[in-house]
Amino acid sequence: MELRHLRYFVAVAEELNITRAAERLHVSQPPLSRQIRDLEEELGVVLLERSPQRVVLTPKGAVFLKDARAVLKLADEAVQRVQSEPGGMKGDLRIGYSPNPTIELLPKALKAFRKTTPGVRTLLHDAASDELLAALLAGTMDVLLGVDPVLKPDSGATFEHLFDLPLGVFVPLHSPLASRRQISLKEALQQPLVRFARRGYPDYHHWLSGVVRQTGIRPKVAIDVDGATSMLTAVESGLGMAFAPKVAAAQGRGRVKYLPIGPEPCTIPVGFAVRKGKLSGALAAFVEVLQRFAEKPKE
């Protein structure tokens, strides 16, 4: 008898329908029926009475169902315990991330995480923020690292703030502002703005709306772009200025000028989003590493 026999039996016993049980287990009906017959032959008892119309538990089947559930629960708990031990976790951890806000945090966190959990393969996905959030909510991504996605209460996910990322602006090299050492937020908002498109970056627009409310200045939008590369190109061509974190300054060196915002700082919230519920061992370990390395983010 193997655990898969118990899992197959429990699925059929709970569904009382071979077709639904097969769909639940992602197997075809013939091998499922065969595994149930093998289990009954090994036990020497009839667990299920089957007819073209229905499936019914026998009295002995009802007793066995209770014990089978208990065995499977113990097996699952044993797996969780061993995976909670350093180096004991296995499988894939799917990480969605926004490059610029996480450029300082993510490499360090991944390096530390891999040392303690070598059995877990980390799969990295870089895309527009709305695509990453959709993947998280659909269950095809385990964690989303980046700017606060502003989740709806009924979204099924939760966001934990890690740190506030200081922002500055990119300005064209030929702009009179390029000779400055810093720029105030109000001055920046008076320049033509190169911004991310709302479709793809709703988190950016939520943040920008807050800045507009705070200052009372509504910037003149020069162009909407679909990514960081397009944003840099638009600024370089002289279309306007763009908000950017300090960690992105090196990307624009020689093409645009980066100006810190001051004397009052301008920041954007960065953290991680996960689906609500108990975290897997690997995800919980990764979250712990993120929190540890985010305590003193590099500015």
CATH domain 91-162+269-293 topology: D-Maltodextrin-Binding Protein; domain 2 (3.40.190)
Residue 85 has pLDDT above 70, yes or no: no
Structure tokens at 84: 């909670």
Residue 298: pLDDT band (50, 70, 90) is: very low
Indicate if the pLDDT at residue 173 is higher than 70. yes
Q: Are 207 and 172 in contact (CB under 8 A)?
A: no
C-alpha span between 156 and 274 (Å, rounded) = 9
- CATH code for 3-84? 1.10.10.10
Rounded alpha-carbon distances, angstroms, from residue 112 to 47, 108, 286, 295: 50, 6, 9, 15
Residue 57 phi/psi, 5° resolution?
Answer: -70, 135
Asked if 3-84 and 166-268 have one fold, the answer is: no
Q: Are strands 91-97 and 143-147 parallel, antiparallel or unpaired?
A: parallel
What is the domain partition of the chain in residue ranges? 3-84, 91-162+269-293, 166-268
Model confidence band, residue 286 (pLDDT cutoffs 50, 70, 90): very high
pLDDT band at 155, cuts 50/70/90?
confident
Q: Indicate whether 177 pLDDT > 50.
A: yes
pTM of the full structure = 0.62
* Helix runs in the chain, H state only: 3-15, 18-25, 29-43, 59-84, 99-102, 105-116, 129-138, 185-189, 202-215, 228-236, 249-252, 281-293
Q: pLDDT tens digit string along 40-74?
A: 999 999 999 988 778 899 999 999 999 999 988 88
- Given the candidates 3.40.50.450, 3.40.190.10, 3.10.150.10, 3.20.20.70, the CATH classification of the domain at 166-268 is 3.40.190.10
Q: Is the pLDDT of residue 210 over 50?
A: yes
**Please, what is the Cα angle at 157 between 270 and 208, to 5 degrees?**
40
Query: Cα–Cα distance between 27 and 38 in angstroms, integer?
Result: 16
Q: Measured between alpha carbons, how far is 7 from 28 in angstroms, rounded to an integer?
A: 15
**Nearest alpha-carbon partner for 203 in 143, 139, 159, 251:** 159
Give the pLDDT of residue 95. Answer: 95
Of 231 and 295, the structure prediction assigns the larger pLDDT to 231
pLDDT band at 299 (very low <50, low <70, confident <90, very high): very low
Average pLDDT over all residues of the chain: 86
